């Protein structure tokens, strides 16, 4: 076996779901967090909740881990492989849920835990030139432009805090937007997230440990098989989405032109074409996605793939697959 094959590394989404929950591998996770949060992070424990339990119907493209650091703060990491509507609303819900899960009824508000939400995105969430975005609540003077400091009385002492010490922080990592030559720890981590490459001489926190602990051929044969199926499911899902988008656009343009001409005669050519194209594209994409999903599911079923794997790859229901 070549050295290159021996140094094949497990994708971070799989590692974070299966391996980095183990205390022996916290150093990899701590290195990742240290680099992306910009301060030394020590993970005390991995927390379980409704949001990150390993359920039988867990979607392959949603990977969550929830950790508590040495300060008692909560860190949520989520990896999203495919497009999802209302993604920002979903991560907001996850943060709110984490806050309520970690304060008991009757406790004082100052016991609310600060939350860090880190999203590793393998799809285009919107327009922007950077691969790393950070967001947080701040209160800025409308006229003075200064930041408000909050003063509270705790244990007979006046404590001054910035809102940044209390409100959640959101970090969006746009993996596909990264096209740099890796020279800094942050860039080395981005290279690993995007291409699965870890330099042999890396000094980036966590990556040296990852080189030793996340090697593909260190897994058992059973785990390697499950990992390979995971990669296949991601590839199939992306193929479904890309094909559906292409087919939908083609059908949408045809239907949009027809509807646009008809409506254009009555309401104006410009408005009719615009509405027709918009509606046609939406309906076409949806119908194209469904047709492509059924076709792929039919082929996978003929190959003998388990129904659970077909559901993950196509997002069809059990009943729809049974009827094929």
Tens-place pLDDT, residues 159-185: 667 778 889 999 999 999 999 999 999
pLDDT of 290: 74
Average pLDDT for 62-67:
76
Q: Where are the alpha helices (DSSP H) in the chain?
A: 3-6, 12-18, 26-37, 87-101, 185-195, 207-213, 221-267, 269-302, 307-314, 318-322
Distance CA 255, CA 248 (A): 10
The rounded mean pLDDT for the chain is: 78
Position 33 confidence tier, pLDDT thresholds 50, 70, 90 = very high
Distance CA 192, CA 206 (A): 11
Evaluate the CA torsion angle 202, 82, 26, 162 in order and state its sign. Answer: positive
Position 57 confidence tier, pLDDT thresholds 50, 70, 90 = very low
Give the strands of the sheet with 62-69, arranged side by side.
43-47, 62-69, 74-80, 115-121, 169-174, 132-136
pLDDT of 223: 77
Least confident of 128-132, 201-205, 213-217, 228-232: 228-232
| pLDDT tens-digit series, residues 91-148 | 999 899 888 888 765 566 667 789 999 999 988 888 899 999 999 988 899 999 998 8
Highest mean pLDDT among 11-25, 188-202, 247-261: 188-202
| pLDDT tens-digit series, residues 239-286 | 655 555 555 555 555 565 566 555 555 555 455 455 555 555 556 556
pLDDT of 116: 95
* Token pair in block for residue 45: 């424990």
pLDDT of 219: 74
Distance CA 120, CA 90 (A): 14
Q: Quick check: 311 pLDDT over 70? A: yes
Q: What is the pTM for the complete model shown? A: 0.66
Evaluate the CA torsion angle 276, 281, 282, 285 in order and state its sign. Answer: positive
Least confident of 28-42, 102-116, 194-208: 102-116
Least confident of 74-78, 121-125, 226-230: 226-230
């Amino acid at each position: 076996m070549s050295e290159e094959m021996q140094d094949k590394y497990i994708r971070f989404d799989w590692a974070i779901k299966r391996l980095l929950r183990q205390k022996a591998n916290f150093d990899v996770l701590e290195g990742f967090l240290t680099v992306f949060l910009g301060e030394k992070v020590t993970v005390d424990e991995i927390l379980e909740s409704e949001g990150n339990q390993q359920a039988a119907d867990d979607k392959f493209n949603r990977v969550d881990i929830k950790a508590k650091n040495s300060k008692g703060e909560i860190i949520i990491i989520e990896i999203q492989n495919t497009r999802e509507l209302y993604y920002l609303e979903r991560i907001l819900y996850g943060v709110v849920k984490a806050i309520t899960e970690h304060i008991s009824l009757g406790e004082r508000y100052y016991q609310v835990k600060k939350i860090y939400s880190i999203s590793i995105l393998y799809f285009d969430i919107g327009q922007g030139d950077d691969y790393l975005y950070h967001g947080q609540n701040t209160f800025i003077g409308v006229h003075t432009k200064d930041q408000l400091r909050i003063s509270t009385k705790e244990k007979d002492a006046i404590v001054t805090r910035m809102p940044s010490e209390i409100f959640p922080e959101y970090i969006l990592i746009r993996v596909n937007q990264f096209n740099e030559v890796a020279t800094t720890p942050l860039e080395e981590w981005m290279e690993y997230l995007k291409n699965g490459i870890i330099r042999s001489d890396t000094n980036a926190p966590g990556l040296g440990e990852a080189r030793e602990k996340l090697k593909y051929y260190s897994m058992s044969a059973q785990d390697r098989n499950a990992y390979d199926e995971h990669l296949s499911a991601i590839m199939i899902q992306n193929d479904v989405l890309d094909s559906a988008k292409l087919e939908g656009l083609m059908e949408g343009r045809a239907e949009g032109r027809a509807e646009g001409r008809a409506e254009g005669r009555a309401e104006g050519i410009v408005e009719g074409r615009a509405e027709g194209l918009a509606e046609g594209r939406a309906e076409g994409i949806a119908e194209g996605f469904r047709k492509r999903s059924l076709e792929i599911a039919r082929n996978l079923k003929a190959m003998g793939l388990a129904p659970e794997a077909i559901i993950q790859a196509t997002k069809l229901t059990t009943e729809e697959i049974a009827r094929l």
